[in-house]
Amino acid sequence: MNLTTGELISEFINAIIVSILIFFCAIVFTRWYARRKVYDSSIRSAIQVSVIWLITDIALKFLILFILGPNMIFDAIRVVIEVFVIAVVVMKIYNKDLPDNLIIIKKALLFAAIVQVLLYIVTIDIEIFLESYLFMVSGRDDDLFASGMMFYFCLIVLIGINGFYVRWGDKMQFVKNRNIIILITTTPGIFYLSNLLYSQGKNFLPNYATNLLSSIVFGLIVSTIAKILSYRTIAFEEYRDLTVLEKGKLLLEVNGLKVYYPLIGGMLKRTFGSVKAVEGITFSIKTGETVGLVGESGCGKTTVANAILGLVPREAGEILFQGESIPNNYPKHFRQKIQIVFQDPDASLNPRMKIVNIIAEPLINLLGITKKDEIRKHVLKLLDEVSLKREHMDRYPHEFSGGQKQRIIIARALASNPELIILDEPTSALDVSVQAQILNLLKDLQKTYGYGFLFITHNLAVVNHIADRVAVMYLGKFVEIGETHQIFSRPTHPYTIALLESRTELDPSNKEIRFVIKGEVPSPIAPPPGCTFNPRCVSDAKTRECQFKLPHKIKIEEGHFIWCVNPPVSMQGKMDSEIEISDN
């Protein structure tokens, strides 16, 4: 198509206007994508990327229009050049935020491709819309305007069909960045459809059916090739039978964990304070070990579990799993290795799903097993591990008792072959006889496979039965931690003593209680200064210092610690020789 100099200049000015409009869109998109990928999302970095694109885009458009001549093939080459230019810019700007050179190049190219493809699609749409609008206002050609409107209809149909086709299929559910694949595979179809509009002009309308069908077929061919290639990127994890772990290896470390919940209120929804749900706790779990976490309701036990699972953000502190720090975005391999069993079995099971589908969810979502015969084989093994029968596979949750439902949840937790299982009050909703069955099942599984358990409960008898070590929490802090026999036979902290002596006694005639906790638990929004247990403490060693001094960590014996300002009088004779005091 030969254009006069005036027409070329007019085309170039229109192209510059479109590029400037896209420039502002690119700034917004770049900041959004950078925030999503936890890059530097400052407006300065976004402008740097977008300005480089703007300069490159205008320069290449000038080259194409005035030297090479208008050509859609040259436009496609321009897009490829701009992708690599932006990739270099992204590598320079975000270099400090990406771990190594290979990942930098991969992510930079992907980032640039996403931005460029989006900008190219939007550019085409804006140009066609402007041309159609000018035709409508000037009244130059109604047929051409109608063809432009039909183009938009065909475009919507093309994007919808292509998007559905790319997402369709079980394997595609394991491909990362499916939306990006949709974007990339739809672009050739849009390019082809746009070329038809440019070449046919007003004849696009009478031929719309043929044009739409041919663009759909072209898009589906590209999408099929892309899907086949994307299947190679799926990291299917080979399913192993439940692995026997080496006992005594460090599994989980929690260091100085703090979790605060913001208090939001007022007409403007401002933050005016926080609930200090967990305040600086530290503990560890080894393979083959059960750590019991006990305390009153609301002391922060479940919040600790949620923080380990990445369900609530951490205010401070670090959580390590097998020596690797767990980031806030909680990657997939951690979800496979750390599982949880919740308190309420009814709330944990979808009533509309069969048991085989419930247990299969981790197999499908975490391990990538999609063949039905394999799924049923693994589910059958898991049901056998928790003493359920084959015929239970195709039943619904309402057909089971409470104990059986909890066994199903345990089977689902085992499905991903985990190493750490968090048990959040798993027996509190069950009868005593059923509780014993579930506890024995858990002990047998741990003995066989070496799982690490974090057992959260307020039932001291259950903890005494299953735990190797016990941590006692009060108002978001540890007050005592030690081996189970140390805590139950030689409790030292006043709160632990009172908690143990509040247990239901088998002998109703035994009414002797040394410690009675009085009053209410202070508010975690405004905890008391000094020792938070001070207002309720009835220890014989309580002094005025407890009102303003923070508790310090005191070593009672090997593996046994309390957090207290003044230990009970019975311990003070040992203070100088046997008890170690630290500020941690």
Q: In this predicted model, what pLDDT tens digit does every residue of 39-69 receive, in sequence order?
A: 556 677 677 767 766 777 777 767 766 666 6
Range from 92-101, 259-268, 351-360 carrying the lowest mean pLDDT: 92-101
Q: What is the mean pLDDT of residues 332-350?
A: 85
Q: What is the DSSP string of 174-208?
A: GSS-HHHHHHHHHHHHHHHHHHHHHHHGGGGTTTH
pLDDT at 85 over 70: no
* Exposure letters 545-565 (e unless 16+ CB within 10 A, then b): ebeeeebebbebeeebbbbbb
pLDDT at 186 over 70: yes
pLDDT at 374 over 60: yes
pLDDT band at 96 (very low <50, low <70, confident <90, very high): very low
Mean pLDDT of the chain: 76
pLDDT at 576 over 50: no
Alpha-carbon distance 110 to 526, whole Å?
48
Return the pLDDT at 507.
55
pLDDT digits (tens, 9 = 90+) for 301-322: 999 999 998 888 888 889 999 8
CA angle 471, 473, 474 (to 5 degrees): 160
Return the pLDDT at 509.
61
Report the sign of the C-alpha dihedral through residues 208, 213, 214, 215, in that order: positive
Q: What is the mean pLDDT of residues 77-82?
A: 64
Return the pLDDT at 575.
43
| Backbone phi and psi for residue 549, each to the nearest 5 degrees, phi listed first | -95, 140
Return the pLDDT at 257.
92
Alpha-carbon distance 245 to 149, whole Å?
64
Return the pLDDT at 580.
52
Return the pLDDT at 236.
46
Higher pLDDT, 550 or 538: 550
pLDDT at 330 over 70: yes
Alpha-carbon distance 303 to 153, whole Å?
51
Higher pLDDT, 16 or 143: 16
Q: What is the mean pLDDT of residues 439-443?
A: 89
Do 376 and 356 contact (CB within 8 A), yes or no?
yes
The answer to pTM > 0.95 is: no
- For β-strands 477-483 and 469-474, DSSP reports them as antiparallel
Domain at 250-482: CATH architecture: 3-Layer(aba) Sandwich (3.40)
pLDDT band at 100 (very low <50, low <70, confident <90, very high): very low
Alpha-carbon distance 27 to 49, whole Å?
8
Return the pLDDT at 144.
64
User: Which candidate, 223, 222, 234, 218, places its Cα nearest to that of 165?
Assistant: 223
CB within 8 Å of 24: residues ≥ 6 apart = none
Return the pLDDT at 481.
94
Return the pLDDT at 583.
52
pLDDT at 131 over 70: no
pLDDT band at 561 (very low <50, low <70, confident <90, very high): very high
Higher pLDDT, 97 or 123: 123
Alpha-carbon distance 353 to 454, whole Å?
28
Do 493 and 551 contact (CB within 8 A), yes or no?
no
**Residue extents of the structural domains in the chain:** 5-231, 250-482, 490-582
Radius of gyration (C-alpha) of the chain in whole angstroms: 32
Q: What is the mean pLDDT of residues 352-358?
A: 90
pLDDT band at 503 (very low <50, low <70, confident <90, very high): low
- For the chain, the first-to-last Cα distance in angstroms comes to 79
Q: What is the mean pLDDT of residues 526-549?
A: 83
Q: What is the mean pLDDT of residues 351-369?
A: 85
pLDDT band at 467 (very low <50, low <70, confident <90, very high): very high
pLDDT band at 483 (very low <50, low <70, confident <90, very high): very high
pLDDT at 121 over 50: yes
* Exposure letters 246-276 (e unless 16+ CB within 10 A, then b): eeeeebbbbeebbbbbeeeeeeeeeeeeebb
Return the pLDDT at 136.
47
**Amino acid at residue number 551:** P
Q: What are the residues facing 422 on neighbouring strands? A: 340, 454
Percent of the chain with pLDDT over 70: 67
Per-residue H/E/C for 512-563:
CCCCCCCCCCCCCCCCCCCCCCHHHCCCCCCCHHHHCCCCEEEEEECCEEEE
Q: What is the mean pLDDT of residues 164-190?
A: 69
CA angle 103, 76, 65 (to 5 degrees): 130
Alpha-carbon distance 509 to 239, whole Å?
56
Using DSSP's 3-state secondary structure scheme, residue 487 falls into helix
